[in-house]
Amino acid sequence: MDDIFKLIADVGFPMAAALAAGYFIFLVLKFILDGVKGSVKSLSGLIMALDNRVKTMNSEVIRIDTLMSNALGIQPDLDRIARADGKIDCRKD
């Protein structure tokens, strides 16, 4: 307590109150940003999971297309199969 009274005596009450308010704002912003950081991490994990599902679905569609082309005796679209690395959207729709 003596330190607080000494600070008020040295810099004055308005400056001591401003320092206390600045510290309070710092704590509030830290708390808010920690919450946002946690949300961003969870959303990032969700986006990565969805991206993996899209890549898997794309591979499955290519596989089904190739099997159906083979079963029907049609030449499979080799360009589409070559583009199926996930970097380029290989759908024709």
When comparing pLDDT for 63 and 78, which is higher? 63
Segment 53-61 shows an average pLDDT of 86
Does the pLDDT at position 92 exceed 80? Answer: no
- Rounded mean pLDDT of the chain? 84
Q: What CA–CA distance (Å, rounded) separates 45 from 63?
A: 27
Is the Cβ–Cβ distance between 65 and 90 less than 8 Å?
no
27-45 per-position pLDDT tens digit: 999 999 998 998 899 999 9
Around 70, how many Cα atoms within 13 Å sit in the side-chain half-sphere?
7
Does the pLDDT at position 58 exceed 60? Answer: yes
pTM exceeds 0.75 for this model: no
Burial of 37 (0-12, 13-18, 19+ CB in 10 A): exposed
